A and B are shown apart, each in its own frame.
Chain A
Amino acid sequence: MRDVSIIGIGQTKVGENWEKSLRQLAGEAVLAAMRDASIEMADILYVGNMLSGEIAAQEHLGALVADFVGLRGIEAVKVEAACASGAAALRQAYIAVAGGVADVAIACGVEKMTDEVGEVVTGALALAGDGEYETFHGLSFVAINALLMQRYMYEFGWKHRDFAAFAVNAHKNAVGNPYAMFPKPITVEQFEQARLIADPINLMDSSPVADGAAAVVLCPTEQARAFTDNAVRIAASAVATDAIAVHDRPDPLFLQAVYISAQKAYHQAGISPQDVDLFEAHDAFTIMAALSLEACGFAARGQGVRLAQEGDIALDGRIPISTMGGLKGRGHPVGATGVYQVVEVVQQLRGQAGANQIKDAHWGMAQNIGGSGATVITHIMEALS
């Protein structure tokens, strides 16, 4: 296998982009990444996306996006793994370059969510769960996470208010990210008073529905210098799966696929959790941030919330998370999120994170979670310059 690096990044501002279609969003991100990498051609393009058929009335995104960015003719396909679709596309690009199938590969994540109304989007997102045995019973995706949160609070004694620290941190960090959907701070009181969606989860526990696209360009590390001086090495790329339905997991409050994916990633990179300088966690809901921190080995079981409360997740904390706003503050265009996370890690490792820069960042980790933990994709990046 060849060592692989990221030589270009691109992203669009996350938000309700009424004036832009799915292809325009993807095109903007891919072209920005190609400019950043100083390339005009690529061998292969993977498009991560979850819901284009349900919401944007469009499938067949590989050919669509390749053509739209001027790469007509190259190999291109869509990759889907629910909310982990973005990182799944990156994973495929990594495999293509590492395996010698492609020298220059592009991974793009894109989601266009505002072309439909609320209950249609809610129904579409629920497709991440088990159609016959979860969503059939009227469960939204929020409700599946709510079942986990309710049990977590019962077993470990936390109150809803205790989770506020995750949302407050995410919004605080979003202020320093020009691409974030919600660049404004929130208070604990605002968190507590937000509208309930599926108890105990309220609007401030939840990442927002949004449009957005992000892209990265990969090549073999030994060729990276020919393109750029600020390449970032992919030190680990690891995927693990679990039962798609929460009820099929022996221990619902321990995300087994997070654990396996993270352990594989640490092993590949040759590091331990203590070495990670920043972690782009999949904070789609506050409970997911807590469960992810625990199964990754950053907190003991049931203690992920304490990490947030004690400031360990802040930019100057022991393990900063959501450093550019996370899913909560930057926004969660589902199939694009995994690529946004990696773009943000690259910004940090290049020293381009502006006011949110983590000092001396060398190892950055990004973890994209599909569904309520059924597909988990962890990437660890290492600064080269």
Chain B
Amino acid sequence: MGLPNYWRTQSQRYRLVGEICGHCGAKLFPPRDVCPECSQPAYEPFTFSGRGEVYSHSTILHAPRDYEEFVPYTVALIKLEEGPLVTAQLTDVDAGKAYIGMPVEMVTRKQREDGEDGAIVYGYKFRPVLQ
């Protein structure tokens, strides 16, 4: 993935901006422009709170290219409090300590670096809610 992609997806990746369907009110993340619930156009932006809970999780020990240096890291499906599921990494949680139902909140963190001279890519991750 290259720079234009990182630039184009900033509002999703930094602020969790999705969409809300003007017809049925469904809240959508990632944005998809057509509501999967009622098949009507959905262009109105909607910013999610970033709060939710872990729906499922996995700690990766064998990573794809560009992610090897982060092993082991934990990925999860997060059930946002507004409804949608989102796929992301967990952060500030030790390998093996995540559990289904764990309350989490969105934070902006470094995802990876595109080589020594490339972009440092940022995006959302989720951490346990600070007590």
Contacts and interface: CB of A to CB of B under 8 A. Distances in A.
Interface in A130-148: 130-140, 142-143, 146-148
B64 A154 contact: no
B106 interface: no
A147 B64 CA distance: 16
Interface string B44-77: 0000000000011111111111111010010111
Nearest to B100: A154
Interface residues of A, number: 38
Interface stretch (A120-128, A262-270, A304-312): A120-128
A248 B9 CA distance: 18
A176 interface: no
Contacts of A150: 56-58, 100
Given A132-B5, A136-B1, A148-B56, A123 B64 contact: yes
A136 B123 contact: yes
A134 B58 CA distance: 13
Given A137-B88, A247-B85, A119 B56 contact: no
A151 B77 CA distance: 10
Interface residues of B, number: 36
A132 B9 contact: yes
A246 B123 CA distance: 19
A147 B61 CA distance: 14
Given A132-B5, A132-B30, A247 B62 contact: no
A245 interface: yes
Contact of A138 (B1, B32, B77, B111): B111
Given A119-B63, A243-B36, A143 B77 contact: no
B65 A199 contact: no
A195 B62 CA distance: 10
Contacts of A197: 60-62
Contacts of B67: 138
Given A119-B64, A122-B64, A137-B75, A143 B56 contact: no
A55 to B, nearest CB: 12
A204 to B, nearest CB: 14
Interface string B72-92: 010111000000111111000
Nearest to A201: B58
Interface of B: 1, 5, 9, 30, 32, 36, 55-68, 70, 73, 75-77, 84-89, 96, 100, 111-112, 123
10 contacts: A119-B64, A130-B87, A136-B111, A138-B112, A139-B75, A142-B60, A150-B100, A199-B58, A246-B77, A248-B85
